[in-house]
């Protein structure tokens, strides 16, 4: 394994850990949770490691709040996309669904 690969691997692990922590803490301390996400973003940009798509979809780009249905966001499913309303800064996040995803299939069968 190359040295740069190793760094990338470690960064990804850290980012994942930070997201886990942020998710755990969000219900006690929103601001602390936001700080953790900001830190994850810093690690990602400093080391040129992209935050995995799955994690990116989890937080509000504007205020860095983890979006949890019913707690920090409202979710709507429109054709081929999930629309998340952040309750903290009122930003809208759109997540486009691939045709393979379960939610997509569910929304198709309903209509």
**Interface ranges with Zn ion (CB under 5 A):** 60, 62-63, 65, 86, 88-89, 91
- Report strand pairing: 73-78 vs 81-86: antiparallel
Nearer to Zn ion, 12 or 93 (CB): 93
Task: Give the shortest CB-48-to-Zn ion separation in angstroms.
Answer: 25
* Structure tokens given for 3: 């040295």
Task: Give the shortest CB-62-to-Zn ion separation in angstroms.
Answer: 5
Question: Do the Cβ atoms of 31 and 37 come closer than 8 Å?
Answer: no
Task: Give the shortest CB-88-to-Zn ion separation in angstroms.
Answer: 5
């Amino acid at each position: 394994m190359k040295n740069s690969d190793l760094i990338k691997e470690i960064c990804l692990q850290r980012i994942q850990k930070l997201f886990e922590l942020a998710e755990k803490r969000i219900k006690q301390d929103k601001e602390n949770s936001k700080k953790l996400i900001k830190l994850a973003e810093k690690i990602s940009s400093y080391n040129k490691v992209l935050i995995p798509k799955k994690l990116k979809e989890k937080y509000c780009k504007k205020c860095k709040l983890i979006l949890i249905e019913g707690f920090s966001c409202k979710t709507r499913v429109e054709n081929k996309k999930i629309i998340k309303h952040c309750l903290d800064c009122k930003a809208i996040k759109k997540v486009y669904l691939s045709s393979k995803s379960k939610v997509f299939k569910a929304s198709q069968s309903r209509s």
